[in-house]
Amino acid sequence: DLVLCLISGGGSALLAAPAPGITLADKQAVNKALLRSGASIGEMNCVR
């Protein structure tokens, strides 16, 4: 059997596991702060 999975346009948002040493709550707080500050998607991706 062959399984092919193509992920595009927002695929990185599906990978919610934070890096070692960073909690999910930390990641959520940073994301909310970036949204409130008006950060562009490019700026948010740099932080991710």
pLDDT at 18: 78
For the chain, the domains span 18-47
Specify the pTM: 0.59
Q: Residue 34: exposed, middle, or buried by beta-carbon count in 10 A (0-12, 13-18, 19+)? A: middle
CA distance 43 to 45: 5
Reduce the DSSP state of residue 37 to 3 states and report it.
helix
CA distance 31 to 13: 11
pLDDT at 47: 84
pLDDT at 1: 93
